[in-house]
């Protein structure tokens, strides 16, 4: 099993070792700003099973300038950086002006196109603008912590990869659960978004990459397949998408 999206530098000590014990083969850790870019790329450099994704989180986009995307570009040239992100739009929080978020988002899409890397999307309360921008992007899109069940048909039509986090396991997440059943095999990933969104069996505790197995087992049951079958298709999809 893999964790396609976590913040390993924010997790509790020993999380990586516990993930390996849980059977994880690869982990993608996110750098969202200058400090965490360095941590993500260092973790990837020091561990064969860790890869980095770098970008400016929309909540970090206040005061965005062209220099920000050039710093992302510099780090994205590292051989163990497998995607650009997480980027996108977050209108739920007011941490960054919408104009700054939009300029940053479009610059990330251009960078991903230039480098031939997939782009990892964060969208919250901003679906209309997020999906409008993505229609102009010709590369691989990964919708992190998938939260757009009303747009499943559009996601499938456009070939967007949909990554489900621990919130799909929550009893009230019926729309997400329906979406997790509908997504075609080749567009499915799972993630933790650790240390956030702990799956139901460990809800209320800090999340960590090894807990992706709880989410994977739940999604496998939703889809009527074995954990081993889901494991194989997620491993296959991640290898295709991230090129690892």
Structural domain including 195 reads 2-242
Mean pLDDT over 105-119 rounds to 98
What SS3 class is residue 193? coil
What is d(CA 88, CA 84) in angstroms, rounded to the nearest whole number? 11
Residue with tokens 């993630």: 191
Please list the alpha-helical segments (H only) found in 32-97.
Answer: 34-46, 66-76
Q: What is the pLDDT of residue 239?
A: 98
pTM of the model: 0.96
* Residue 94 confidence class, pLDDT cut points 50, 70, 90: confident
> What is the structure's pLDDT at 237?
98
pLDDT above 70 covers what percent of the chain?
100
50 pLDDT band (50/70/90 cuts)?
very high
pLDDT of 201: 97
Q: How many domains would you assign to the chain?
A: 1
Q: What is the DSSP letter of 91?
A: -
Is the pLDDT at 132 greater than 90, yes or no? Answer: yes
How distant, in Å, are the alpha carbons of 9, 81, 89, 98, 99 from that of 94? Answer: 25, 29, 11, 8, 12
Note the pLDDT of residue 203. 97
| Prior bond of 86 cis (ω within 30°) | yes
**Please, what is the Cα angle at 162 between 87 and 111, to 5 degrees?**
30
CATH of residue 177: 3.20.20.140
**What band does 34 get if pLDDT is binned at 50, 70 and 90?**
confident
Token pair recorded at residue 150: 């009303």
Quote the pLDDT of residue 123.
97
């Amino acid at each position: 099993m893999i964790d396609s999206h976590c913040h390993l530098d924010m997790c509790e000590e020993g999380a990586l070792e516990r993930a390996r014990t849980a059977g994880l083969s690869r982990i993608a850790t996110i750098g969202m700003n200058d400090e965490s870019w360095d941590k993500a790329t260092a973790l990837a450099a020091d561990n064969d099973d860790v890869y980095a994704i770098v970008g400016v989180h929309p909540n970090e986009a206040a005061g965005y300038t062209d220099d920000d995307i050039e710093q992302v570009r510099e780090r994205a040239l590292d051989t163990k950086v497998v995607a650009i992100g997480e980027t996108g739009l977050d209108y739920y929080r007011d941490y960054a002006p919408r104009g700054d978020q939009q300029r940053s988002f479009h610059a990330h899409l251009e960078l991903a196109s230039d480098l031939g890397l997939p782009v990892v999307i964060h969208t919250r309360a901003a679906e209309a603008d997020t999906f409008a921008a993505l229609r102009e992007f010709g590369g691989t899109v990964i919708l992190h912590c998938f939260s757009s069940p009303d747009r499943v048909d559009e996601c499938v039509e456009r070939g967007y990869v949909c990554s489900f986090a621990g919130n799909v396991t929550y009893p009230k997440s019926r729309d997400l659960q329906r979406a997790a059943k509908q997504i075609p095999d080749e567009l499915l990933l799972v993630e933790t978004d650790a240390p956030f969104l702990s799956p139901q069996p460990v809800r209320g505790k800090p999340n960590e990459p090894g807990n992706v197995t709880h989410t994977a087992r739940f999604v496998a049951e939703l889809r009527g397949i074995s954990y081993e079958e889901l494991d194989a298709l997620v491993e296959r999809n991640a290898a295709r998408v991230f090129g690892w």
